Structure 1
Amino acid sequence: MLTVWYNTRCPVCDAGINRQRRRLVEAVKAGRVEFRDINFEPEALSAFGASLEDIRRRLHATDAEGRLLVGADVAIAVWRLTPGEGWLASLFGNLVALPLTRFAYDRFADLLYAWNRRKGRW
């Protein structure tokens, strides 16, 4: 199972995850993916060294093997499960594009995190 941890207090993050959840209804029902609000379980990923602020800054997930995924790697894993979005995982997750995908995701996440902090969404 892929367990995705996200920040519901961020309107952009919440909307994006709600969109994916609607597209992944069958995968959720089958137990292949789960979406969890880190604000209810702030210590959930502390064993991985991930703080509440880390997860508010970037998506985090654990995969079926118990590995931690962060940022763009979470988006790619979700796209792989989402009907009609596997091509996004192939395009942005291939060996050539992945470093640029991670860089772009991280810069966007930094801007979004700063915006949310300025708006007091914590």
Structure 2
Amino acid sequence: MLTVWYNTRCPVCDAGIARQKRRLIEAVKAGRIAFRDINAEPAALAGYGVSLEDIRRRLHATDADGRLLAGADVAIAVWKATPGEGWLATLLGNPVALPLTRFIYDRFADLLYGWNRHKGRW
């Protein structure tokens, strides 16, 4: 199972995950993917050395093998599981594009994190 940890206090993050949940309803019902609010379980990934602030800054997930994913790698894993979005995973997750995908995701996540902190969404 892919378990995605995200920050429900971020309106952009919450809206994006709500959209994915709707697209992945069958996978959620079947237990192939889960979306969890890190604010409800702030120490959930402490065993991986991941803090609450890390997850508020970037998406994190654990896969079926217990491996930790972060940032763009989570988005790619979710796109792979989402009907009609596998092409995004292929396009943005290929070995040539992946470094740029990660860079752009990280810069956007940094801006979003700063905006949320400025707005007091913690």
Interval of TM-score (by shorter of Structure 1 and Structure 2) = over 0.9
Segments of 5+ residues of structure 1 without an aligned counterpart are none
Question: 1:40-59: CA deviations, max 9, x gaps?
Answer: 00000000000000000000
Shift of 1:34: 0.1
| 2-structure distance, mates of 1:90, 1:21 | 21
Give the secondary structure class of the aligned counterpart of 1:36. Answer: strand
Equivalenced residue count is 122
TM-score (normalised: structure 1): 1.00
Aligned-pair identity in percent equals 83
| Matching residue of 1:31 | 31
TM-score (normalised: structure 2): 1.00
Segments of 5+ residues of structure 2 without an aligned counterpart are none
| Matching residue of 2:81 | 81
Report the RMSD for the aligned CA atoms in angstroms.
0.2
Matched AA of 1:11: P
| 2-structure distance, mates of 1:4, 1:99 | 21
| 2-structure distance, mates of 1:29, 1:116 | 31
Matched AA of 2:33: V
After the TM superposition, which segments of 4 or more aligned residues of structure 1 sit over 3 Å from their partners?
A: none
Matched AA of 2:98: L
| Matching residue of 1:45 | 45
